[in-house]
């Protein structure tokens, strides 16, 4: 009898099913969770969060943990520097011997919880795991952390989501919330799409018309490119100050912000303000319809280079990221082919049709490299001859990414088939708000295999990460962005972080139940396809 009880208690402890027990089976699933001998760690108000070293990010890590615990179970724990260490405590510490930069180890016994990482970023990810282990608990509940040893590190070094703030503009407070959502899902990069045909969203001091003219469209098309427009001026932009504030907000959360200035296509908003930079030189207005515009930057005009380089100069002052995203998608060559300046350029440099954009990309890369930064571009940039030092973001499918990897480019996998969170998330389309089309369910995201066996070993090493994108042609409100992001972001997190061998959709769905409770706590809107028994009424509000 005693043995049965003991086994039952142990099972309950391991599975985390006992009321008040933390459950380390979180999303993304850690590499290894091993139960340890001895009693659990009891969390009560006497527990201190102790941090070591004088790294300001370790101190802010401690503040985050304290805040997260308060938000989850309603307990305010003090934080303190190493010298006050006295059990019981949760210790945050650096372990320079750890190999994985973003890895961490959590050891739990009845006296203490230790979270160690090679870097403060690693410790931060450990904090997210500890935080999520409380997801199923309620405010005021006593917490027992079962004794355990957790060793973890991410599968990919680049784990991101992109938010399109050009088609629709989202306030600074929401961009920060989006960064919080990324942090909860162990991501380390926020790709910020700041410019497009329908709006320019970043202040650039030397080109004031970008905010005065390009940030505003006269009107927005209704529905899916119907003939009718709403006639309502729409716009917005981030000041440099606000952009810096977002970079800093993300940095504290160990997230890098990569800005994207989409060029030489998707530039109609800029052309509306600076028409001499287009091949025809006139007649541009900020886009009010969706899709691909024929008008692009004139690559035969030296003023174009002065313009984009000036933008890069200011951009790199705001964003310290190693990468600058130069876009490069969907750039028709039609205007270039009939433009005297572009034709002259093509003749001088012996450029065939495919090499026109490559000429522009190569110049931009040299300029950006000269500032000690590297470029990322959408996969179309690799259609001409460019340098393998450019990182390629594969979106039109997975194939173009793998082709680029074979040529020596680092690649980021973001194919429409699995990673387009602007697509519907269920086949019951009439239950969802209008979307651009397509279908990317939770399971589709979850099943994405970024590194197929068929790829040769050298190319495999070039797959540096995975990213999902939220394009916002049809997404006008923050509520709707949340709904498109969640819970697919959780499936993405497991693709980005968890070793393929530990992925299991059945187990993921059970763990998702708990993570969804955190979404509820933060009042984040999310798709309910996994919970058909729950009513949608009053939740899907845009
Ligand atoms: C293609 S993905 C685009 C975007 C659209 C998106 C809609 C990419 C690099 N370009 O301009 O918003 O499709 O799904």
Q: Under 8 Å CB-to-CB from 536, ≥6 apart: which residues? A: 431, 528
Q: What angle do CA 413, 417, 421 make, to 5 degrees?
A: 85
- Residue 396 has what pLDDT? 98
Q: What is the DSSP string of 114-155?
A: EEEESSHHHHHHHHHHHHHTTTT--TT--EEE--EEEEE--S
**pLDDT, tens digit, 9 for 90 and up, residues 307-351:** 999 999 999 999 999 999 999 999 999 999 999 999 999 999 999
Spatial separation of the C-alpha atoms in residues 155 and 272, rounded to whole Å:
44
245 to 34, 172, 207, 242: CA distances (angstroms): 40, 9, 21, 5
Spatial separation of the C-alpha atoms in residues 34 and 47, rounded to whole Å:
24
Q: Under 8 Å CB-to-CB from 224, ≥6 apart: which residues? A: 290, 434, 436, 474
Smallest CA-to-CA distance from 62 within 32, 28, 27, 92 is with 92
Q: Between residues 393 and 11, which one has the greater pLDDT?
A: 393
In the chain, % of residues over pLDDT 70: 95
Angle (deg, nearest 10), helices 340-348 and 355-370: 80
3-state secondary structure of 282: coil
Decide if 266 is catalytic: yes
Decide if 330 is catalytic: yes
409 to 192, 356, 404: CA distances (angstroms): 22, 20, 5
**pLDDT, tens digit, 9 for 90 and up, residues 65-121:** 999 999 999 999 999 998 767 889 999 999 999 999 999 999 999 999 999 999 999
Which of 401, 416, 471 to mutate to test ligand 1, by most ligand atoms within 8 A of the CB atom? Answer: 471
Spatial separation of the C-alpha atoms in residues 394 and 156, rounded to whole Å:
16
Q: What is the mean pLDDT of residues 286-313?
A: 98
511: Cα separation from own chain's centroid: 21
Residue list, ligand 1 pocket, CB within 6 Å: 329-330, 378, 395, 420, 422, 436, 471, 473
Atom of ligand 1 nearest to the CA of 423: 14
Choosing from 71, 242, 314, 330, which is the catalytic residue? 330
Atom of ligand 1 nearest to the CA of 471: 12
Q: 264 preceded by cis ω (within 30°)?
A: yes
Query: Per the structure block, which two tokens stand in for 53?
Result: 């070293």
458 to 114, 157, 300, 450: CA distances (angstroms): 38, 17, 37, 15
495: Cα separation from own chain's centroid: 13
542 has pLDDT over 60: no
Query: Per the structure block, which two tokens stand in for 107?
Result: 């050891």
Strand bridging mode 41-43 / 78-81 = unpaired
Query: Per the structure block, which two tokens stand in for 48?
Result: 């201190």
Average pLDDT, the chain: 94
In the chain, % of residues over pLDDT 90: 89
Q: Under 8 Å CB-to-CB from 341, ≥6 apart: which residues? A: 279, 298, 300, 301
**pLDDT, tens digit, 9 for 90 and up, residues 5-53:** 555 555 545 554 445 899 999 999 999 999 999 999 999 999 999 999 8
**pLDDT, tens digit, 9 for 90 and up, residues 221-241:** 999 989 999 999 999 999 999
Give the other-Cβ count within 10 Å of 99's Cβ: 7
Spatial separation of the C-alpha atoms in residues 186 and 26, rounded to whole Å:
11
> Dihedrals φ, ψ of 194, to 5°?
-105, -15
Give the other-Cβ count within 10 Å of 117's Cβ: 29
3-state secondary structure of 173: helix
112: Cα separation from own chain's centroid: 33
Smallest CA-to-CA distance from 357 within 264, 435, 439, 282 is with 264
- Residue 83 has what pLDDT? 72
Would you say 382 and 403 are in contact if contact means Cβ atoms under 8 Å apart? yes
User: Which of the residue ranges 78-87, 228-237, 453-462, 464-473 would you say has the lowest mean pLDDT?
Assistant: 78-87
Decide if 141 is catalytic: no
- Residue 78 parent element (H or E): strand 78-81
Distance 497 CA to ligand 1 centre (A): 25
Strand bridging mode 195-196 / 199-200 = antiparallel
The dihedral region occupied by 408, where left means phi > 0, alpha psi between -120 and 50, and beta the remainder, is left
Confidence of residue 381 (pLDDT cuts 50, 70, 90): very high
Q: What is the mean pLDDT of residues 366-370?
A: 98
Global pTM value: 0.95
Choosing from 266, 409, 418, 462, which is the catalytic residue? 266
- Residue 138 has what pLDDT? 86
- Residue 18 has what pLDDT? 43
Would you say 203 and 174 are in contact if contact means Cβ atoms under 8 Å apart? no
Distance 361 CA to ligand 1 centre (A): 19
> Dihedrals φ, ψ of 60, to 5°?
-70, -30
Would you say 383 and 352 are in contact if contact means Cβ atoms under 8 Å apart? no
- Residue 141 has what pLDDT? 83
- Residue 332 has what pLDDT? 98
Distance 323 CA to ligand 1 centre (A): 20
Distance 330 CA to ligand 1 centre (A): 8
């Amino acid at each position: 009898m005693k043995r049965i009880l003991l086994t039952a208690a142990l099972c309950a402890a391991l599975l985390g099913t006992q009321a008040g027990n933390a459950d380390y089976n979180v999303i993304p699933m850690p590499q290894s969770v091993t139960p340890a001998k001895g009693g659990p760690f009891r969390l009560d108000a006497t527990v201190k969060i102790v941090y070591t070293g004088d790294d300001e990010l370790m101190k802010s890590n401690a503040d985050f943990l304290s805040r997260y615990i308060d938000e989850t179970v309603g307990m305010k724990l003090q934080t303190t520097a190493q010298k006050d260490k006295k059990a019981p405590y949760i210790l945050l510490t650096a372990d320079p011997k750890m190999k994985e930069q973003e890895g961490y180890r959590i050891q739990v016994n009845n006296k203490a919880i230790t979270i160690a990482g090679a870097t403060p970023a690693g410790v931060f990810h450990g904090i997210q795991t500890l935080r999520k282990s409380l997801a199923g608990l309620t405010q005021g509940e006593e917490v027992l952390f079962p004794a355990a040893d957790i060793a973890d590190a991410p599968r990919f070094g680049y784990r991101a989501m992109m938010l399109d703030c050009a088609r629709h503009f989202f306030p600074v407070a929401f961009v920060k919330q989006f960064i919080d959502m990324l942090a909860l899902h162990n991501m380390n990069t926020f790709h910020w799409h700041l410019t497009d045909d329908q709006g320019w969203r970043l202040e650039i001091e030397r080109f004031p018309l970008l905010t005065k003219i390009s940030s505003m469209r006269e009107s927005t098309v209704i529905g899916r490119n119907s003939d009718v427009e709403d006639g309502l001026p729409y716009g917005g932009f981030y000041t440099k100050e606000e952009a810096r504030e977002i970079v800093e907000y993300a940095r504290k959360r160990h997230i890098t912000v990569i800005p994207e200035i989409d060029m030489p296509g998707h530039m109609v908003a800029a052309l509306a303000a600076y028409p001499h930079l287009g091949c025809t030189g006139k007649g541009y207005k900020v886009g009010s319809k969706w899709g691909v515009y024929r008008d692009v930057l004139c690559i035969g005009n030296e003023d174009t280079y002065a313009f984009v380089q000036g933008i890069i100069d200011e951009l790199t002052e705001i964003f310290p990221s190693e990468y600058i995203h130069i876009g490069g998608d969907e750039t028709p060559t039609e205007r270039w082919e009939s433009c005297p300046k572009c034709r002259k350029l093509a003749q001088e440099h012996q450029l065939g049709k495919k090499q026109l954009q490559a000429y522009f990309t190569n110049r931009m890369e040299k300029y950006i490299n000269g500032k000690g930064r590297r470029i990322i571009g959408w996969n179309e940039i690799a259609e001409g001859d460019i340098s393998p030092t450019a990182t390629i973001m594969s979106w039109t499918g997975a194939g173009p990414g793998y082709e680029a990897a074979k040529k020596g480019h680092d690649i980021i996998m973001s194919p429409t088939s699995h990673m387009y969170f602007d697509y519907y998330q269920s086949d019951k389309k009439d239950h969802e708000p209008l979307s651009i089309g397509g279908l990317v369910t939770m399971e589709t995201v979850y099943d994405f295999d970024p590194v197929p066996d068929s790829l040769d070993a050298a190319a495999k090493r070039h797959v540096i990460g995975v990213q999902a994108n939220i394009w916002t042609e049809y997404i006008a409100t923050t509520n709707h962005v949340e709904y498109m992001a969640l819970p697919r972001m959780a499936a993405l997190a497991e693709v980005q972080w968890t070793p393929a061998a530990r992925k299991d959709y059945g187990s993921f769905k059970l763990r998702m139940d708990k993570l969804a409770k955190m979404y509820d706590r933060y009042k984040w809107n999310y798709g309910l396809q996994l919970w058909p028994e729950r009513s949608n009424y009053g939740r899907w509000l845009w």
